[in-house]
Structure 1
Amino acid sequence: MDNLRLSFNNSRTRLVLASMVLSTLLTATVLALVYVTANRSIESETRSVVSAELTGLADEYERRGLIGLMAAIERRIPSASERDALYLLTDRFGAKLVGNLKQWPEGIAAGGGWVDLELRRADNDQLVPISAASIRLPGGERLLVGRDALARQQFDRVLLRSVGIALGIALALSVLTGWLFTRLVFSRLSDIASTAENIVSGDLSRRMPLRGTGDEFDQVAGTLNTMLDRIEELVSNLRTTSNSIAHDLRSPLSRLRQRVDALSDPDKSEQDREIDIARASAEIDHVLRVLGQLTEISRAEAGVGREQFEPVDLQDLVANVAELYEPVAADQGIQLEITGTAAAIPGHRPLLSQALSNLLENAMRYAPDDTTITISLTEDGPFTFLSVRDRGPGVPQEDLPRLQMPFVTLDPARTERNSGLGLALVAAISHMHGGAFEAHNCDPGLDATIKLAR
């Protein structure tokens, strides 16, 4: 019983059973309709023929009388067996005058309508089922005309047998079809489930199999693979971030601990204490700045703030940010140049301003004096590109993919001035806006681009 219960709890079994039941019901309905229609058609045809014969024989009685009617019936009897026709004419007392039935059926009144009964034939003395109608003639005689229903009953049995066979074939085909259908579906689901189990076990490199059919399963698998790519990227970034946090915050926290311990030294002068306090405050500010940037990255990666999207005029945003950084750039002898135009896009204006600020700060950090940093806006298809290009030394080609990873910096030593989170935040903001962060070397310099969905 437990095995039976488990089998019915199986989705494949339920689908096969549902397919079988629905197909069987549909086939049974169609076959029942055929059976009923065929029987009604035969019965309607039989009644029409019998009614026509009764009318014709009644007319014969009116024209030629009883003798003429008997002669007409006698003429029909030789061919009656071929047509399964039955005739009986009796006088008013029920005595047989002519026909191929032995006697008038008991309990049947002439003119009582269509009846189904069993009577004995006069030619072979067999009891046969008949369907007949009768009338009473003006002289009191009774006339019955009918058809032998034995052939019809045999036809019914053959038809019912055929319906049963067809229903059985339909049942077998429905089971086969349901099995093939569920095998197709569950083989794909099994592939997905197997891959998912490997992923749950920790193998994030696995991807859902594609069969190249382009069907809905391939579309779902492709979407899941895109999601898994993103998850693997986020997990990798999380691991890198966790390791980098442990590495990068250990030093300032250790220095902070040393500063605090140094404050308890009774031999320290007041001036040294003030210096230690100032340095401890600087270390705390650095830690808070790193944690704040990590919080901003996490919020952007999670899409927090999408509900605040509004139309953003990128040309106005670029002009405002450039105006803010022009004095700092001028101090380095750097000129800021703005090129291109773009239509407004839906976005989070403060975060987009932060992303552009980070790109400009990064560019000015590496740009040589007396050079130009170009901020450009371009449109291509459904995306708008916001680019910042400096004329600095660029980045080693193998390091380009690592630029957007947290705590990655090309400086030999990480300092409070550069914690390696600026471009990671830019990448997170780009993803939040349906795009991506891209960087490539120019000759000379580096071109850092934010791709934004319009």
Structure 2
Amino acid sequence: MDNLRLSFNNSRTRLVLASMVLSTLLTAIVLGLVYFTANRSIEGETRSVVSAELTGLADEYERRGLFGLLQAIERRIPTASERDALYLLTDRFGVKLAGNLKHWPADVTAGSGWVDLELRRADNDQLVPISAASVRLPGGERLLVGRDALARQQFDRALLRAVGLALAIALALSLLTGWLFTRLVFTRLSEFAGTAENIVSGDLSRRMPLRGTGDELDQVAGTLNSMLDRIEELISNLRTTSNSIAHDLRSPLSRLRQRVESLSDPSKSDLDREVDVARAAAEIDHVLRVLGQLTEISRAEAGVGREQFEPVDLQQLIGDVVELYEPVAADQGIALEVVGTAHTVQGHRPLLSQALSNLLENAMRYAPEKTAITITLSESGPYTCLSVRDRGPGVPEEDLPRLQAPFVTLDPARTERNSGLGLALVAAISHMHQGAFEARNCDPGLEATIKLARKP
């Protein structure tokens, strides 16, 4: 009993049984309609023929009297067996006058309508089932016309056997189909479950298996793999960020501790103490700046602020940012150029301004004097692209994928002003807008591109 209960609690068993029941029920309904329709059609045809023949014989009686009716019945008798036709004409007392039936049925009143009964044939004295209709003629005579129903009953039995056989075949096929379907689906689900268990155990490199069929299960597997890629990337960034925080904040916090401890040195002058306080404040500002940038990256990665999305005119946004940075660029001998147009996008205006500002600051850091930084707007498929290109030395190809990682800077002389979080924030803002961050060397210079989905 427990094993049976466990079997019914199994999803595969329930799915097979549900498929079998529904398929069998549908087949039974269809076959039942076929049987009912065929039966009604045959019965209707029989009644139409008998009614027409009965009406014809009654008309013959009206035109030629009883003698003419007798002749008409006698003419039909030789071919009656081929048509399963049955005739019986009696006088008002039930005495047989003509026909191929032996006697009038005792429980049938002439003119009572359509009847199904059993009578004996006059030619072979066999008791046969018949379907017939009768009339009482003006002279009191009784006329019964019908059809031998034995062939119809045999057809009914054959049709019922065929329906039963078809139903049994449908039941077997539905059981087989349900089993094959559940085997296909649950085999894939078992593969997914096994891969998920390995991932839960810590193997983040595992991915859902793809069979290359392009079916819905492959599409689900592809979506899950994309999600796992993103999760692995975020966890890797989290580990890198955690290690980098520990490394990058240790130095300023150590220096801050030294500054604070030096304040208690009685040999220091007031001026030296003021210098130490100023340097301690600078260290604190650096730590707060790093933590603030990390908070912005975390919020963008988590999608916090999507409820503030609004239509953003990127050309206007670029104009505002360029107007802000033009004086700084001019002091460095750098020109800012804007190229291209694009449709309005749904986005977070302040964060997009921050992303463009970070790209411009990064470009201005490496752009040679008397060169231009080009800001380009374009559209590519479902994305609107915002690119910033300088004419600097570029980046080694092997280092391009590392640009968007937190605390990564390719400047060996990194200072407090460059914590390596600017492009990481740009990448996080791109992901927040269902897009991506890309960088490529242009010889000369580096082009950094933000891809924004037009309908995030």
Name the counterpart of 1:342: 341
AA at the equivalent of 2:375: S
Name the counterpart of 1:379: 378
Q: Cα distance, 1:92 vs. partner?
A: 1.9
- Map Cα deviations across residues 410-433 of structure 1 (whole Å, 9 max, x no partner): 233653211111111122222233
What is the CA–CA distance in structure 1 between the aligned matches of 2:101 and 2:390, rounded to whole Å?
117
What is the CA–CA distance in structure 1 between the aligned matches of 2:155 and 2:445, rounded to whole Å?
94
Q: Secondary structure at the match of 1:439?
A: strand
What is the CA–CA distance in structure 2 between the aligned matches of 1:201 and 1:143, rounded to whole Å?
92
Name the counterpart of 2:277: 277
Name the counterpart of 2:139: 139
Name the counterpart of 1:164: 164
What is the CA–CA distance in structure 2 between the aligned matches of 1:315 and 1:71, rounded to whole Å?
106
The residue correspondences of 1:13-412 to structure 2 (distance < 5 A) are: 13-265=13-265, 268-331=268-331, 333-343=332-342, 345-346=344-345, 347-368=347-368, 370-382=369-381, 383-412=383-412
Q: Cα distance, 1:35 vs. partner?
A: 1.4
What is the CA–CA distance in structure 2 between the aligned matches of 1:64 and 1:266, rounded to whole Å?
152
What is the CA–CA distance in structure 2 between the aligned matches of 1:344 and 1:133, rounded to whole Å?
84
Single out whichever of 385-394 and 20-29 deviates more from structure 2. 385-394
Q: Secondary structure at the match of 1:204?
A: coil
Q: Cα distance, 1:233 vs. partner?
A: 1.5
Name the counterpart of 2:417: 417
- Map Cα deviations across residues 34-67 of structure 1 (whole Å, 9 max, x no partner): 2122222222222223223323333443444434
What is the CA–CA distance in structure 2 between the aligned matches of 1:6 and 1:50, rounded to whole Å?
61
Q: Cα distance, 1:142 vs. partner?
A: 1.9
What is the CA–CA distance in structure 2 between the aligned matches of 1:76 and 1:449, rounded to whole Å?
98
What is the CA–CA distance in structure 1 between the aligned matches of 2:135 and 2:180, rounded to whole Å?
62
Q: Cα distance, 1:71 vs. partner?
A: 4.3
What is the CA–CA distance in structure 1 between the aligned matches of 2:304 and 2:3, rounded to whole Å?
49
AA at the equivalent of 1:379: S
Q: Do residues 7 (structure 1) and 7 (structure 2) align? A: yes
Name the counterpart of 2:437: 437
Q: Cα distance, 1:290 vs. partner?
A: 0.6
Q: Secondary structure at the match of 1:244?
A: helix
Change (3 A) 1:453 1:66: closer
- Map Cα deviations across residues 68-126 of structure 1 (whole Å, 9 max, x no partner): 43444344334433332222222222233333333221222111111111223333333
Q: Cα distance, 1:244 vs. partner?
A: 0.9
What is the CA–CA distance in structure 2 between the aligned matches of 1:435 and 1:50, rounded to whole Å?
80
Q: Cα distance, 1:344 vs. partner?
A: 5.2
- Contact 2:374–2:390 (Cα < 8 Å) also in 1: no
AA at the equivalent of 2:334: Q
Change (3 A) 1:367 1:111: closer
Change (3 A) 1:414 1:103: same
What is the CA–CA distance in structure 1 between the aligned matches of 2:276 and 2:130, rounded to whole Å?
122
What is the number of equivalent residue pairs in this alignment?
452
User: Normalising by structure 2, what TM-score?
Assistant: 0.89
What is the CA–CA distance in structure 1 between the aligned matches of 2:262 and 2:306, rounded to whole Å?
47
Q: Secondary structure at the match of 2:133?
A: strand
Q: Cα distance, 1:15 vs. partner?
A: 3.0
What is the CA–CA distance in structure 2 between the aligned matches of 1:440 and 1:25, rounded to whole Å?
63
Change (3 A) 1:160 1:442: closer
**CA RMSD across the alignment:** 2.7
- Contact 1:371–1:391 (Cα < 8 Å) also in 2: no
- Map Cα deviations across residues 203-224 of structure 1 (whole Å, 9 max, x no partner): 2222333333333333333333
Change (3 A) 1:436 1:55: closer
Q: Cα distance, 1:297 vs. partner?
A: 0.9
Equivalent pairs: percent with the same residue?
Answer: 84
User: Normalising by structure 1, what TM-score?
Assistant: 0.89
What is the CA–CA distance in structure 2 between the aligned matches of 1:317 and 1:311, rounded to whole Å?
11
Q: Secondary structure at the match of 1:285?
A: helix
Q: Cα distance, 1:249 vs. partner?
A: 1.7
- Contact 1:208–1:222 (Cα < 8 Å) also in 2: yes
What is the CA–CA distance in structure 2 between the aligned matches of 1:141 and 1:191, rounded to whole Å?
85
